[in-house]
Amino acid sequence: MSEEKEMITGMEAPMYLTYNFTAGGATTRFLAELRNGKLVGQECPKCQHVYIPPRGSCAACGVPTVREVELTNKATVQSFTIVYIPIPNNPIKPPYVIANLMADGAHQSFLHLISDVDNADVRIGMRVEAIWKAEEEWTHAMENIQYFRPLDEPDMPIDEIGRLKNA
Protein backbone atom coordinates (compact mmCIF):
# COMPACT_ATOMS: atom_id res chain seq x y z
CA MET A 1 0.00 0.00 0.00
CA SER A 2 1.19 3.44 -0.91
CA GLU A 3 1.89 5.47 2.22
CA GLU A 4 4.24 7.78 0.31
CA LYS A 5 1.52 9.00 -2.08
CA GLU A 6 -0.77 11.85 -1.20
CA MET A 7 -3.77 10.72 0.85
CA ILE A 8 -7.29 11.56 -0.31
CA THR A 9 -8.76 13.86 2.33
CA GLY A 10 -11.82 15.25 0.57
CA MET A 11 -14.27 14.64 -2.20
CA GLU A 12 -16.67 16.71 -4.20
CA ALA A 13 -20.23 15.57 -3.74
CA PRO A 14 -22.45 18.09 -5.51
CA MET A 15 -26.18 17.51 -5.52
CA TYR A 16 -28.62 19.00 -7.99
CA LEU A 17 -32.36 18.74 -7.61
CA THR A 18 -34.32 19.55 -10.75
CA TYR A 19 -37.85 20.72 -10.15
CA ASN A 20 -40.71 22.13 -12.11
CA PHE A 21 -41.90 24.86 -9.72
CA THR A 22 -45.61 25.67 -9.94
CA ALA A 23 -46.62 28.92 -8.31
CA GLY A 24 -50.28 28.11 -7.65
CA GLY A 25 -53.25 30.47 -8.04
CA ALA A 26 -52.54 33.07 -5.35
CA THR A 27 -48.80 33.38 -6.00
CA THR A 28 -49.47 33.55 -9.75
CA ARG A 29 -51.73 36.58 -9.20
CA PHE A 30 -49.06 38.19 -6.99
CA LEU A 31 -46.26 37.55 -9.51
CA ALA A 32 -48.40 38.69 -12.46
CA GLU A 33 -48.86 42.07 -10.72
CA LEU A 34 -45.14 42.27 -9.91
CA ARG A 35 -44.58 41.88 -13.66
CA ASN A 36 -46.71 45.04 -13.99
CA GLY A 37 -44.65 46.89 -11.39
CA LYS A 38 -47.20 46.55 -8.59
CA LEU A 39 -46.93 45.16 -5.07
CA VAL A 40 -50.23 43.45 -4.36
CA GLY A 41 -51.23 41.71 -1.15
CA GLN A 42 -54.37 39.73 -0.37
CA GLU A 43 -56.74 40.56 2.47
CA CYS A 44 -58.57 38.18 4.77
CA PRO A 45 -62.32 38.94 4.58
CA LYS A 46 -62.71 37.98 8.25
CA CYS A 47 -59.80 39.57 10.14
CA GLN A 48 -58.59 42.10 7.51
CA HIS A 49 -55.02 40.82 7.80
CA VAL A 50 -53.18 41.65 4.55
CA TYR A 51 -50.72 39.01 3.36
CA ILE A 52 -47.76 39.74 1.09
CA PRO A 53 -46.59 37.63 -0.57
CA PRO A 54 -50.07 36.06 -0.46
CA ARG A 55 -50.56 32.33 -0.10
CA GLY A 56 -54.26 32.28 -0.99
CA SER A 57 -55.75 31.84 2.47
CA CYS A 58 -55.63 33.38 5.92
CA ALA A 59 -53.40 31.40 8.28
CA ALA A 60 -55.46 32.50 11.30
CA CYS A 61 -59.04 32.22 9.95
CA GLY A 62 -58.55 29.49 7.34
CA VAL A 63 -60.61 31.33 4.70
CA PRO A 64 -59.59 32.25 1.13
CA THR A 65 -57.99 35.68 0.70
CA VAL A 66 -59.70 36.62 -2.54
CA ARG A 67 -59.59 40.43 -2.27
CA GLU A 68 -56.42 42.03 -3.62
CA VAL A 69 -54.96 45.15 -2.05
CA GLU A 70 -52.45 47.24 -3.92
CA LEU A 71 -49.73 48.50 -1.61
CA THR A 72 -47.56 51.58 -2.00
CA ASN A 73 -43.80 51.48 -2.41
CA LYS A 74 -43.39 52.52 1.22
CA ALA A 75 -42.46 50.13 3.99
CA THR A 76 -41.06 49.98 7.52
CA VAL A 77 -38.06 47.98 8.75
CA GLN A 78 -39.42 45.37 11.15
CA SER A 79 -36.08 43.65 11.73
CA PHE A 80 -32.81 43.33 9.85
CA THR A 81 -29.46 41.62 9.73
CA ILE A 82 -26.10 42.66 8.31
CA VAL A 83 -24.62 39.90 6.17
CA TYR A 84 -20.82 39.64 6.30
CA ILE A 85 -20.30 36.17 4.83
CA PRO A 86 -20.22 35.93 1.02
CA ILE A 87 -22.63 33.42 -0.51
CA PRO A 88 -21.25 31.58 -3.58
CA ASN A 89 -22.70 32.92 -6.85
CA ASN A 90 -24.41 35.81 -5.08
CA PRO A 91 -23.34 39.01 -6.88
CA ILE A 92 -24.06 41.23 -3.86
CA LYS A 93 -20.84 42.08 -2.02
CA PRO A 94 -20.94 41.89 1.78
CA PRO A 95 -21.47 43.56 4.13
CA TYR A 96 -25.05 44.29 3.11
CA VAL A 97 -28.37 44.62 4.94
CA ILE A 98 -31.26 42.17 4.56
CA ALA A 99 -34.45 43.30 6.27
CA ASN A 100 -37.91 42.05 7.10
CA LEU A 101 -40.00 44.85 5.63
CA MET A 102 -43.62 45.63 6.43
CA ALA A 103 -45.23 47.33 3.44
CA ASP A 104 -47.69 50.08 4.39
CA GLY A 105 -51.13 48.47 4.70
CA ALA A 106 -49.70 44.96 5.06
CA HIS A 107 -49.52 42.80 8.19
CA GLN A 108 -46.96 40.32 6.99
CA SER A 109 -43.31 41.14 6.28
CA PHE A 110 -41.17 40.09 3.35
CA LEU A 111 -37.37 39.99 2.94
CA HIS A 112 -35.50 42.49 0.82
CA LEU A 113 -32.28 44.47 0.57
CA ILE A 114 -31.67 47.88 2.09
CA SER A 115 -29.21 50.12 0.29
CA ASP A 116 -28.24 53.78 -0.26
CA VAL A 117 -27.52 54.09 3.46
CA ASP A 118 -24.67 53.28 5.84
CA ASN A 119 -25.32 49.81 7.24
CA ALA A 120 -24.74 51.20 10.73
CA ASP A 121 -27.64 53.65 10.30
CA VAL A 122 -30.28 50.99 9.55
CA ARG A 123 -32.67 50.54 12.46
CA ILE A 124 -36.00 48.97 13.35
CA GLY A 125 -38.86 51.37 12.57
CA MET A 126 -36.94 53.08 9.75
CA ARG A 127 -39.13 54.17 6.84
CA VAL A 128 -38.02 52.99 3.40
CA GLU A 129 -39.23 52.99 -0.21
CA ALA A 130 -38.82 50.53 -3.10
CA ILE A 131 -36.44 51.35 -5.94
CA TRP A 132 -37.63 49.46 -9.00
CA LYS A 133 -35.51 48.34 -11.91
CA ALA A 134 -36.14 49.83 -15.36
CA GLU A 135 -39.54 48.69 -16.67
CA GLU A 136 -38.06 46.66 -19.55
CA GLU A 137 -36.25 44.47 -16.99
CA TRP A 138 -39.40 43.49 -15.08
CA THR A 139 -40.13 39.79 -14.79
CA HIS A 140 -42.34 37.71 -12.46
CA ALA A 141 -39.94 38.27 -9.57
CA MET A 142 -39.38 40.24 -6.36
CA GLU A 143 -36.00 41.21 -7.91
CA ASN A 144 -37.96 43.75 -9.99
CA ILE A 145 -37.32 45.85 -6.91
CA GLN A 146 -33.57 46.48 -6.75
CA TYR A 147 -33.58 47.45 -3.09
CA PHE A 148 -35.27 49.69 -0.55
CA ARG A 149 -33.76 53.00 0.50
CA PRO A 150 -34.50 55.29 3.44
CA LEU A 151 -37.33 57.82 3.26
CA ASP A 152 -37.05 61.23 4.91
CA GLU A 153 -39.80 60.42 7.40
CA PRO A 154 -39.85 59.93 11.16
CA ASP A 155 -39.44 56.34 12.37
CA MET A 156 -42.54 54.30 13.08
CA PRO A 157 -42.94 53.29 16.75
CA ILE A 158 -42.09 49.60 17.09
CA ASP A 159 -45.49 48.53 18.44
CA GLU A 160 -47.28 50.10 15.45
CA ILE A 161 -45.36 48.20 12.77
CA GLY A 162 -47.78 45.98 10.85
CA ARG A 163 -50.58 46.35 13.41
CA LEU A 164 -54.21 46.47 12.33
CA LYS A 165 -55.62 49.95 13.07
CA ASN A 166 -58.48 48.84 15.34
CA ALA A 167 -56.94 45.68 16.73
Instruction: State yes or no: residue 31 binds other proteins (CB under 8 A).
Output: yes
At closest approach, how far in Å is the CB of 158 from other proteins? 36
Q: In what order do the strands lie in the sheet with 50-51?
A: 50-51, 39-43, 67-71
- The contact pattern for other proteins, residues 97-126, with x = CB under 8 A and - = no contact, is ------------------------------
Instruction: State yes or no: residue 9 binds other proteins (CB under 8 A).
Output: yes
Q: How many residues bind other proteins (CB under 8 A)?
A: 29
Using alpha carbons only, give the angle 83, 86, 90 rounded to the nearest 5 degrees. Answer: 105
Instruction: State yes or no: residue 28 binds other proteins (CB under 8 A).
Output: yes
Phi, psi of 58 (to 5 degrees): -85, 125
Instruction: State yes or no: residue 36 binds other proteins (CB under 8 A).
Output: no
The piece of 17-25, 42-50, 70-78, 143-151 that touches other proteins (CB under 8 A) is 17-25
3-state SS assignment for residue 32? helix
Instruction: State yes or no: residue 7 binds other proteins (CB under 8 A).
Output: yes
Cα separation, 87 vs 133, in Å, equals 23
Cα separation, 44 vs 33, in Å, equals 19
Which one, 3 or 118, has the nearer CB to other proteins? 3
Residue 33 · residue 53 · CB < 8 Å: no
Summarize as ranges the residues that interact with other proteins (CB under 8 A).
1-2, 5, 7-25, 27-29, 31-32, 88, 140
